[in-house]
Amino acid sequence: MSQSVIEHVLSRLRETGINCVFGVAGDFAFPIDDAVTANRQMRWIGSCNELNAAYAADGYARIHGVAALCTTYGVGELSAINGIAGAYAENVPIFHLVGMPASGVQAAHRLVHHTLGSGEFDLFHKMAEPVVCARAIMTPENCAAETERLIAAALYHRRPVYAGFPTDYATSPIVGTAQPLPEPVSDPNALEAAVNAVVARIDGARTACIVPGNLLSRLGLNAQATNLVKASNLPFATMFMDKSVLEESLPNYIGMYDGKLMNEEVRAFVEGSDLVLGIGAQLTDFNAGGFTARIDRSKSVNILHHSVRVGQAVYDKIEMKDILIALADKVTRRDLKVTKAPGLGKPVGSRNEKITVEYLYPRWEAMLREGDTLITDTGTSSMGMAFANMPKGSTFHNQTLWGSIGWATPAAFGAALAAPDRRTVLITGEGSHQLTAQEISQFPRFGLKPLIFVLNNDGYLIERLLAKNGDSYYNDLAQWNYHKLPDALGCEGWLTARVTTCGELDDIIRKAESSPTGAYIEVVTDRYAASRLAEKLHESIGSLYA
């Protein structure tokens, strides 16, 4: 018997590397939910709400490469749309499967639940259009071809796609077949021309450096880019949203580049280089130190996903993977004459003192272990941790461009699920955490034992620093007993604490390191204890809002 529409889609997603579907169930989505749970190679990962499910899928895909999300019509998909938009902005491919009312219900414009009562059924997938790179409403007749189109689009653009499933169509047998679409290949002539142009630029440069972008991680090309670094022995500097995309433990890593705001030596080196070789890096506001970065376009090359820019010239039809491999083969190896990034240094503070920035961030850096997955939310703590040196094999994740607070808590769950053998560390501000805190309940459901830090600085500190009047009460929060949440949310037996002094923080980190359970630590600091980058943004960001 032929497969049903949804069975076919799931089996093709399985072949694309997807083995679980995040989401929240709903009656219009039951055919999808039933098919996922009936499929022995798929797992259903239920979340507390659809926004959290989208963030969890995003975190999962950042580690695993791709993810799937399933929500119900209207109420579910619209709750997820912020998470989908973030995935779009940050090149995270998520297959969003949406259950819809049956085709006959739609055709008859019936007044059913989860609609606006207007008899219109095409509103919500139209709303999704700007935040997905392809969308389709699946029917038995179009399913085979549309599935291939959606998969190819998601992988080509590394962005979300939307598939709507009217309930009756979802379970109908699929009609016809379709072949997977071919993967893009580089044009050999364009590739050769671009390789020669880039090699000539590198060879002609007295000083050069690499600025790698997070697309490398999204495309799983970290190893190829590392080979290029090793073959050329060029130094590299990284911007905020790209942090740890290449191993910071390499001797070539000179530190974080953040325009004029931080690390003056790194800025001078990057901006003073005869050549800056970007690999998909983007000069967004928070990457480029509030637009204080100055990289002369004529002195830079940027290797993009499907093209290469050399100065003002653009070479099309070139896949990033191909040119990275070709360049590693052809570049001349140089002597490395740079100083490695120093990191944050030693924690400063004595045991009975309250926790200061000078103690907290170096102590967090010292806690990081090889292979850790560190997820940080928008706010002052991610800006502090961006300058920590990451140990070998550990990765740093942050939603720097989209910057939707609350992302990190569910994303940490998704990331932990994608790499259960690694330690997942979540560092979030308490304001961000309040948006999605209930998602910590998923960790024990799936046997995961994260290490969670909630920085309680009595409000939205980054906003206090950026607002006209920091003490405006719109930056205040309801005070929660954060460390009591795990117990209420099903994380029974976890190590939990609220720490206010350096000694308490040090002790609990040591305890957490050997704890066989998850750990949840509320770290209390002063209201204005801000990491250095946050302070600097405060001093210089005015131009962004003018």
Ligand X SMILES: Cc1ncc(C[n+]2csc(CCOP(=O)(O)OP(=O)(O)O)c2C)c(N)n1
What is the contact surface with ligand X in residues (CB under 6 A)?
A: 377-381, 403-405, 429-432, 455, 457, 460-463
Q: Considering the complex, state which of residue 169 and residue 240 has its C-beta at the smaller distance from ligand X.
A: 240
CA-to-CA separations, 341 to 207, 251, 344, in angstroms, rounded: 18, 9, 9
Query: Smallest gap, in angstroms, from Cβ of residue 525 to ligand X?
Result: 9
The option from Mg ion, ligand X, none interacting with 106 (CB < 5 to 8 A, set by class) reads none
In the complex with Mg ion, the residue whose CB is nearer, 317 or 527, is 527
For 371, left (φ over 0), alpha (ψ -120 to 50), or beta? left
Angstrom CA distances, 328 to 202, 207, 223, 273, stand at: 12, 18, 11, 20
Between 77 and 319, whose beta carbon lies closer to ligand X?
Answer: 77
Q: Should residue 457 be labelled a site residue for Mg ion when binding is judged by CB under 5 A?
A: yes
CB of 407 to ligand X, least distance (A): 8
User: With CB cut-offs between 5 and 8 Å by kind, which of ligand X, Mg ion, none does residue 217 bind?
Assistant: none
Q: What element of type H or E holds 425?
A: strand 424-429
Residue closer to Mg ion (CB basis): 47 or 456 = 456
> Coil, strand or helix: which one is 280?
coil
Nearer to Mg ion, 283 or 477 (CB): 477
- Interatomic CA distance for residues 70 and 365, integer angstroms: 37
Q: How far is the CB of 504 from ligand X (least distance, A)?
A: 19
- Is 431 a binding residue for Mg ion by CB under 5 A? The answer is yes
Q: Which is nearer to Mg ion, 82 or 456 (CB)?
A: 456
Q: To the nearest whole angstrom, how small is the minimum distance from the Cβ of residue 459 to ligand X?
A: 6
- For residue 273, give the amino acid letter: S
Other beta carbons within 10 angstroms of residue 16's beta carbon come to 17
**What's the min distance (Å) between Cβ of 52 and ligand X?**
13
Site string for Mg ion, 411-430 (x = CB under 5 A): ------------------xx
> Which of 278/429 has CB closer to ligand X?
429
Nearest residue to Mg ion on Cβ basis: 429
> Cα separation of 22 and 31, whole Å?
15
Taking the least distance from each CB to ligand X, the nearer of 244 and 525 is 525
Those residues with Cβ within 8 angstroms of residue 525's Cβ, 6 or more apart along the chain or in another chain: 354, 355, 356, 357, 360, 455, 456, 457
From the list Mg ion, ligand X, none, pick the one residue 186 interacts with, judged by a Cβ distance below 5 to 8 Å according to partner type: none
Helix H or strand E segment including 385: helix 380-385
Find the shortest distance in angstroms from Cβ 526 to ligand X: 11
Binding partner selected for residue 463 from ligand X, Mg ion, none, CB under the kind-specific 5 to 8 Å limit = ligand X
Rounded Cα distance, 487 and 497, in Å: 12
Q: Which does 410 bind (CB under 5 to 8 A by kind): ligand X, Mg ion, none?
A: none
Contacts of 314 (CB under 8 A, 6+ apart): 307, 308
Interacting partner of 404 out of ligand X, Mg ion, none (Cβ under 5 to 8 A depending on kind): ligand X
User: Which of the choices Mg ion, ligand X, none does residue 378 contact, using the CB cut-off of 5 to 8 A by kind?
Assistant: ligand X
Instruction: Output the six-digit token pair for 169.
Output: 């169509």
> Which segments of 158-263 does DSSP mark as H helices, in order?
167-170, 188-204, 215-218, 222-232
Q: How many CB atoms lie within 10 A of CB 125?
A: 20
Distance CA 424, CA 94 (A): 21
Asked if 70 and 33 count as a contact pair (C-beta separation under 8 A), the reply is: yes
Q: Which residues neighbour 89 within 8 Å (Cβ) at sequence distance 6 or greater?
A: 401, 402
DSSP 305: S
Count of residues of this chain found to bind Mg ion when the rule CB under 5 A is applied = 5
Cα–Cα distance between 425 and 498 in angstroms, integer? 17
Kindly state the smallest distance separating residue 56's Cβ from ligand X, in Å: 16
The nearest distance, CB 460 to Mg ion, in angstroms, is: 6
Of 224 and 381, CB closest to ligand X: 381
Report the residue number, 27 or 463, with the smaller CB distance to Mg ion. 463
Residue 472 C-beta: closest distance to ligand X, Å: 12
| First-to-final CA distance of the chain | 64
Least Å distance, CB 186 to ligand X, is 38
Name the residue number minimizing CB distance to ligand X.
429
CB of 432 to ligand X, least distance (A): 3
Tokens of 535: 């302070």
Q: Is the CB of 157 or the CB of 354 nearer to Mg ion?
A: 354
Q: Say how far apart CA 480 and CA 439 lie, in whole Å.
A: 16
Q: Which residues bind Mg ion (CB under 5 A)?
A: 429-431, 457, 461
